[in-house]
Amino acid sequence: MPEIEQEKELRDRYRYTDMLKRFFREYLVENGRAYFPIQVAHIVGALLILVPPILLRDMLDIAIPEGNLTLVWQLVLLAFIVYTSSALIAGLKTYYGHVIAQLIVRDMRNDLYNHYQRLSMSFHDNKKTGELMSRIIDDLNKQQEYIHHGPEAILSSVTMLVGTLAIMITLSGRLTAVALIFVPFLFVFSRFLMVRMHEGFRETRERVAFMLDRLEDSLSGVQVIKVFSNEGFEDKRFSSTNQRHVDARMKAMRYMSILFGGSRFLNSFGILVVLSYGAILAINDVITPGTLVAFYGYMLQFRFPILQLVRTTEGLSEFFAAMERFFAHLDLRPSIQTKPDSIHKVNVAGDVEFDNVHFSYEEDDLVLEGINFHVEPNKTVALVGPSGAGKTTIVRLIPRLYDVDDGAVRVDGIDVQDWDLDDLRGSIGMVMQDEYLFSDSIAENIAYGKPDATHEEIVEAARLANAHEFIMGMPKGYDTLVGQRGLKLSGGQRQRVSIARAFLKNPRLLILDEATSSVDMETEKLIQEAIARITQGRTTFVIAHRLSTIVNANEILFVDQGQIMERGTHDELMKRDGKYRLFYDLQFRDQRAM
């Protein structure tokens, strides 16, 4: 089943408890020795916060009235120990809590990235780069914050609430009853605003994903933007996207400001009522002044854990939503993967056969229909025809970038679906029309064909690809950075680096897709010389824009509307006076007109 359809089904299956168990089992257990002591530290830290108001009460009610200086110093020393311990615990749990959260998210990010690499091309065809980047970066950054601050907020808030309430009841049941009158109002008010605040933050994250996608598009296509002088147009487009992001965030911030300002007012109003009633009780000797001051201290901190719990509850829904998105992608089964009983084959002969192949990218939209041909080892077959005829699709089926709908593609007599994928793709080299170069050095791009290659091997591959001379003319030679997608190099230079990469890989099967298109005649000659070298002793598939470059192919396939209309050598097809002849004559006439 294609990954896109799987994703829809998977997201309906997840339950919160199942996701928590899985998260605990797969990511927390490994870091549990450090993670769980931190949770204990949250509880201890919260308990320490409860001590100072009691010490202040004893100072006011006992030590000062009795003039007991020894008790004063004892209480001061105890307070010092409490504050020092609290500060030490806060520092340790903040540092180690974030470190452990980082390690957990590091593992999650690695798992998701590695899984994206293994999902099929059909998945990536239907996903925007910005969306996947948002999943890996933004979503997991949110997860990281919650992994640390979520348990901290819950444990410390519950500890503080229970502890504060217990102490307040001990200090004065009457004052506690009055104080609790305001709690439901504070909770409902906070809950109402938290929901809307998090809706704003959710929209903000969606806008961030859209902005990332827009950035990736515009920065990768900066050359097209400049050629069409569309900087102003792109400025407006990005400004509009950025403004929508700002609007969503400002909406969330408005609710946040109302929440914190309003909750402080409600709490302050409650404190005033409690202090007024407490003063009456103190005047009537029902409670001591120290008790009233201590009660005031607990009232000041009573609002904080309530807000923390409400905020954490809302954050929990976001945590589970992000967790659901994470597992939904992590659980996608690649529609193209190695079978358990796959065939391992290292010594590949290079025999390729297409047996009645039918293929479509989308359902009911047939791209290839009844493709049949056979290529013997070390032979060269050329595919020609109009744009959109299906030539590139045919060669994409050989390394199994896509699976056929019907029929079979065989390499060395074995259906590619029965091959071990690494063995199959390891025997195939591809040089595409718009070959992708990474924004690394020239040497690193060439070595991508063989990551453990020595510098001497890289240079030799470049020489064979007629690339060494222009590389040595670059500012830093082989260490020259090529820029995003190789934009610092010309089209012909990029092609020769790509051919050098293929030379280094030394594949048995070679696919050249429009390798000489859009280059000048001199560069084409250099590329053709390199191609003549690299095709020796290999089974080669050539998709050619310039038909003059493939006249010596062992067989030419004329492809149109997803079918092979004609086949034969150049001479045979020219004598047949069919589609190929017409195609060739039209191109030759256009070249003479130039």
CATH number of residue 356's parent domain: 3.40.50.300
Alpha-carbon gap, residue 135 to 332, rounded angstroms? 14
Q: Is residue 299 part of a domain?
A: yes
DSSP-derived secondary structure for 252-292: HHHHHHHHHHHHHHHHHHHHHHHHHHHHHHHHTTSS-HHHH
175 & 308 share domain: yes
Q: 354 has which bridge partners?
A: 373, 409
**What Rg value do the Cα atoms of the chain yield, rounded?**
35
Same domain, 75 and 152: yes
Closest CA to 179 of 44, 306, 336, 53: 306
In a domain, residue 103? The reply is yes
Placement of tokens 């001051």 in the chain: 293
Domain boundary among 480, 506, 532: 506
Q: State CA 287 to chain mean position distance.
A: 60
CB under 8 Å to 551, separation ≥6 — which residues? Answer: 570
* Tens of each residue's pLDDT in the chain, 594 residues: 566 667 666 666 677 788 888 888 888 877 767 778 888 898 999 999 899 999 989 999 898 888 899 999 999 999 999 999 999 998 988 888 888 888 888 899 999 988 888 888 888 877 777 778 878 887 888 888 888 888 888 888 899 989 998 998 998 888 888 888 877 887 787 777 777 776 777 677 778 777 877 777 777 676 567 656 677 878 888 888 888 888 888 887 888 788 777 877 877 788 888 888 889 998 988 889 999 999 888 888 877 787 777 677 667 777 877 888 888 888 888 888 888 889 998 889 999 999 999 999 887 788 999 999 999 999 999 999 888 889 999 999 999 989 999 999 999 999 999 999 989 988 988 887 766 788 888 899 888 878 888 999 999 989 988 889 889 998 899 999 887 777 788 878 888 888 888 888 888 999 988 766 556 667 778 878 888 888 888 999 998 877 777 888 899 999 999 999 999 999 999 988 888 888 888 876 655 444
535 within domain boundaries: yes
Domain end residue (candidates: 486, 506, 526): 506
Q: So what's the pLDDT on residue 557?
A: 94
Q: Helix 140-171 and helix 173-180: axis angle, to 10°?
A: 140
Range of the domain at 491: 437-506
pTM to 2 decimals?
0.73
Q: How far apart are CA 9 and CA 17, in angstroms?
A: 18
Same-domain status, 376 and 317: no
What pLDDT does 353 receive? 96
d(CA 498, CA 61): 84
Same domain, 277 and 389: no
Between the alpha carbon of residue 46 and those of residues 89, 96, 183, the distances in Å are: 10, 17, 20
Give how far the C-alpha of residue 185 lies from the chain's centroid of Cα atoms, to the nearest Å.
Answer: 41
Coil vs helix vs strand at 54? helix
Per the structure block, which two tokens stand in for 399? Answer: 């390394």
User: Does one domain contain both 462 and 548?
Assistant: no
Q: Does residue 284 fall inside a structural domain?
A: yes
Alpha helices per DSSP H over 506-578: 521-534, 570-576
Same domain as 170, residue 47: yes
Residue 326 lies in a domain: yes
Beta partners for residue 380, in sequence order: 540
Q: Which three-class secondary structure state does DSSP give residue 430? A: strand
pLDDT at residue 593, rounded to an integer? 45
Instruction: State both tokens at 429.
Output: 């080299």
Is the same domain home to 234 and 278?
yes
Dist. CA 224–CA 236, nearest whole Å: 16
Q: Note whether 518 and 593 are same-domain residues.
A: yes
Q: Is residue 336 part of a domain?
A: no
Asked if 493 and 470 touch (Cβ cutoff 8 Å), the reply is: yes
The first and second tokens of residue 467, run together, are: 């690339």
| Residues counted in the chain | 594
Is residue 559 domain-shared with residue 444, that is, in the same domain?
no
Is there a single domain that holds both residue 493 and residue 534? Answer: no
Among residues 180, 201, 292, 303, the alpha carbon closest in space to that of 252 is found at 201
Q: Do residues 318 and 190 share a domain?
A: yes
Burial zone of 526 (CB within 10 Å; 0-12 exposed, 13-18 middle, 19+ buried):
buried
The tokens describing 159, both together, are 């500890």
For the CA atoms of 402, 407, 411, 413, the dihedral, rounded to the nearest 10 degrees, stands at 160
**Would you state the structure tokens that stand for residue 476, as one six-digit string?**
């830093």
Helix, strand, coil tally for the chain in percent (to 5) = 70, 10, 20
What's the pLDDT at 418?
94
Task: Output the furthest CA–CA distance in the chain (Å, rounded).
Answer: 121
Long-range contacts of 532-535 (CB under 8 A, 24+ apart): 533/464, 533/503, 534/464, 534/465, 534/499, 534/502, 534/503, 534/510, 535/380, 535/510
How many DSSP H helices and E strands does the chain contain? 23, 10
Residue 346 lies in a domain: no
Domain edge (last residue) among 506, 531, 554? 506
For residues 129 and 37, state if they share a domain: yes
- Domain tally, the chain: 3
pLDDT for 594:
46
- CATH number of the structural domain spanning residue 267: 1.20.1560.10
Any domain includes 240: yes
Q: How far apart are CA 9 and CA 3, in angstroms?
A: 10
Residue where the block lists tokens 């919160």: 16
| Residue 369: how many other CB atoms lie within 10 Å | 18
